[in-house]
Amino acid sequence: MTDPAHVQSRPDEQTAAAPPVVDVRDLRVHFKVHRGLFGSQLVKAVDGVSFSIAAGETLGLAGESGSGKSTVARTLVRINRPTDGSVLLSGAETARLSGQELRAYRRRMQMVYQDPYDSLDPKMTIKDAIGEGLTVRGVPRARRKSEVEELLARVNLPVALAGRYPGQLSGGQRQRVSIARALAVSPEVIVCDEAVAALDVSIRAQVLNLLKDIQADAGVSYLFISHDLSTLRFMADRIAIMYVGRLVEYGTSEQVFAAPAHPYTQALIAAVPDIAALGGPRPAPLPGEPPNPASPPPGCAFHPRCPLAVELCRTVAPPLVRKANGQLAACHVVPDAPEVAR
């Protein structure tokens, strides 16, 4: 913990306790995109992101499409390779693992995918799909049937579904199967990448409650990725907001929702429909589009859309520092926390 930037990026005092389950430090994921015959361009999909997740905690990660939130998820479960930075799992560096060690790591970090229609093999029965996870964990064949039934019960699915194929299930049922499959390897962390975005609103609440119940039982940590802030408010203990590959705000759920510091977060929260305010004046929508991550604007990437932008924002990228409300934010304009308070 000698790196001052890292110490700075911690929104609360948890460093004193046990090390967090997941500790991501200055993660960078860059892609080379080929253009034309010879040209290529570096896309910095994730550019220096740090966060940590404690045991049994949920970190919500939000941002518009193209912000890099899915790349963060896919890098944690190692679909993508990190270009630079560390990913510590229970204190051990994992960013450079390969081969058998990588496979062992994968068992500890699971993912529930957005698309319930493509994330299960259509030619594999439910019991085989879940059983596959049990094989990975090394459960003997004789115990597999009973464990599959246990897992189905745990995600509130009837045992009768075990012999069915994914094509015979509804979206919500499939997503439960995906959760059961992830649980089959008893991971420490489950990454949910827009896991309920494809579901009907009525089913969505059931699945979210299920995820919460599982967390209470098993103490798993979640990295919960969503563009839907009301879902995050329900699920997350802490919130991180991403904009074009960087965190712009990072704090506890109460801090971020009660008093968003960054103008981007403020705009996102203002855009959440509110039944109580129905018929009242609608907040002004955020002007413009998120920039192309291949060519982000200089300085603060948000400055072309920011109502508060000053000259400094056009040239210098703001650091993620503690603000007066207690959370971290990357903004030149919002006042920093007074030094003495910390």
Partner 1 sequence: MTAPPEGSFLSGQLPTAAVEPAAASELAAAADEPSLGRRALTSLRRDPVALISVIAVIVLALVAVFAPLLAPHNPLQAYPNGLASNGAPVGPGSSFLLGTDPNGRDVLSRLIFGARVSLLVGVVATGLASIIGVLVGGIAGYAGGIVDSVLMRITDVVLSFPILLFCVALIAITGPSTRNVMLVIAFGYWTYLARIVRGLVLSLKEREFVVAARTLGIGHRAILRRHILPHLVPAIIVYSTLGIATSILIEASLSYLGIGVPLPQASWGQMISQGQQYFQTAPWLLVAPGVALVLTVLAFNLAGDWLTDLLDPETSGDRR
28 beta partners: 47, 84
Closest of 248, 247, 268 to residue 257, by C-alpha:
268
Q: Which of 107, 154, 227, 233 binds partner 1 (CB under 8 A)?
A: 107
State the minimum distance, in angstroms, from the CB of residue 12 to partner 1: 30
The span of 100-108, 197-205, 250-258, 274-282 binding partner 1 (CB under 8 A) equals 100-108
178 binds partner 1 (CB under 8 A): yes
169 binds partner 1 (CB under 8 A): yes
Q: Which of 12, 64, 115, 254 binds partner 1 (CB under 8 A)?
A: 115
The enclosing H or E element of 80 equals: none
The span of 117-125, 195-203, 238-246, 280-288 binding partner 1 (CB under 8 A) equals 117-125
- The radius of gyration computed from the CA coordinates of the chain, to the nearest angstrom, equals 21
113 binds partner 1 (CB under 8 A): yes
Closest of 52, 7, 22, 55 to residue 216, by C-alpha:
55
Q: Strand 22-35 vs strand 84-89: parallel, antiparallel, or unpaired?
A: antiparallel
Site for partner 1 in 33-92 (CB under 8 A): 77-79
Q: SS3 of 67, please?
A: coil
Q: Which of 24, 185, 192, 261 binds partner 1 (CB under 8 A)?
A: 185
Q: Which of 81, 96, 103, 143 binds partner 1 (CB under 8 A)?
A: 103
Q: Which of 12, 26, 64, 132 binds partner 1 (CB under 8 A)?
A: 132
Rounded to an integer, what is the distance from CA 138 to the centroid of its chain?
A: 28
133 binds partner 1 (CB under 8 A): yes
Q: Which two tokens stand for residue 191?
A: 């990454």
181 binds partner 1 (CB under 8 A): yes
State the minimum distance, in angstroms, from the CB of residue 203 to partner 1: 15
Q: What stretches of 94-200 show up as alpha helix (H) in DSSP?
A: 99-108, 126-137, 141-154, 171-184
Number of residues that bind partner 1 (CB under 8 A): 33
CB 44 within 8 A of CB 30: yes
CA atoms of 46 and 215, how far apart (whole Å): 28
Residues that bind partner 1 (CB under 8 A): 77-79, 103-104, 106-107, 109-111, 113, 115, 118-124, 132-133, 135-136, 164-165, 167-170, 178, 181-182, 185
